[in-house]
Chain A
């Protein structure tokens, strides 16, 4: 929790005081995509190497999937409707 806040804050501070150009922003953006892929690979490894999850996947998987689909769906729809009702569409 604290390490997260510290890392992001350090990044923000460096970002404010350093002089970045568009080329750097492009490199940084591509770097994020590579880093994300590595992180996602590790996330997959943590699922695959846990026999309890692999074993239980079919047993409780459908229920779990339903929970995630419905929570995501209603969270997104609620934000979308509110941003439109309140005329906020930043994209």
Chain B
């Protein structure tokens, strides 16, 4: 699975570099949105057809709490560590890590309230986070446990990385991942500017 991920992205990057004015590049937004929509329908089918996935809500809330709080504090802690390594101000490190993988939004916010370089780092680091997620979810699901496999995804566990989580874990974990993604996505536009300006 991880191999397929690397090959697909690498081919895409090469295609993007060499055919930057092709049909695919021009209609990229529409194409990837439609693919994602079809994939999410397929993930929904998976969840709905699994009777046990929709029961035990109380148990799921407990799991969501563990996952979501871990991602928030784990990401922010990672942000502080990285900022310290590169002698960057902590507020910048915290704001970048509070993107939780949602690269388009955190990049745009930090370009506007910070500067272009900060915005680019936020954008790229969250793109990398998504790439790392695609590569490591299959490995973490086997080596650690299913809930840990939601960790890398952050806010993207409700859309782009939900299919890979669903495919490598079970329907129960897919639902927890989806709720985790919804909560984190709602927090990104609040936390990124807040941490940048207040800290």
A-side interface residues toward B, CB under 8 Å?
1, 3-5, 7-18, 20, 24-25, 28-29, 31-33, 35-54, 56-57, 60-61, 63-80, 82-83, 86, 88-91
Taking the closest CB of chain B, its distance from the CB of A39, in whole angstroms, is 5
Most buried by A among B5, B41, B117, B170: B41
27 A-B residue contacts at CB 8 Å?
A: A8-B162, A10-B41, A11-B43, A13-B48, A14-B45, A16-B49, A25-B49, A36-B8, A37-B8, A39-B39, A40-B9, A42-B32, A44-B11, A44-B15, A44-B16, A45-B25, A47-B16, A63-B121, A66-B86, A67-B121, A71-B78, A72-B132, A80-B151, A82-B70, A83-B66, A89-B145, A90-B170
For A40, list chain B residues within 8 Å (CB).
4-5, 8-9, 12, 134
CA distance A78 to B65 in the complex (A): 12
Number of B residues whose C-beta is below 8 Å from A? 101
For A15, list chain B residues within 8 Å (CB).
44-50
Query: Are A29 and B15 in contact (CB-based, < 8 A)?
Result: no
Q: Chain B's interface: helix, strand, loop or mixed, by majority?
A: helix
Taking the closest CB of chain B, its distance from the CB of A15, in whole angstroms, is 2
| B194 in contact (CB, < 8 A) | no
Per-residue interface assignment for chain B, residues 157 to 181, with 1 indicating a CB less than 8 Å from any chain A CB and 0 otherwise: 0111011101101101100001000
Taking the closest CB of chain A, its distance from the CB of B169, in whole angstroms, is 7
In the complex, the chain B residue whose C-beta lies closest to that of A27 is: B42
New contact pairs (9) apart from A28-B42, A70-B97, A90-B173, CB-CB < 8 Å = A3-B37, A5-B182, A12-B47, A15-B47, A44-B8, A72-B136, A78-B73, A79-B71, A91-B144
For A42, list chain B residues within 8 Å (CB).
12, 24, 28, 31-32, 35
Query: Are A10 and B44 in contact (CB-based, < 8 A)?
Result: yes
CA distance A39 to B130 in the complex (A): 12
Query: Are A47 and B12 in contact (CB-based, < 8 A)?
Result: yes
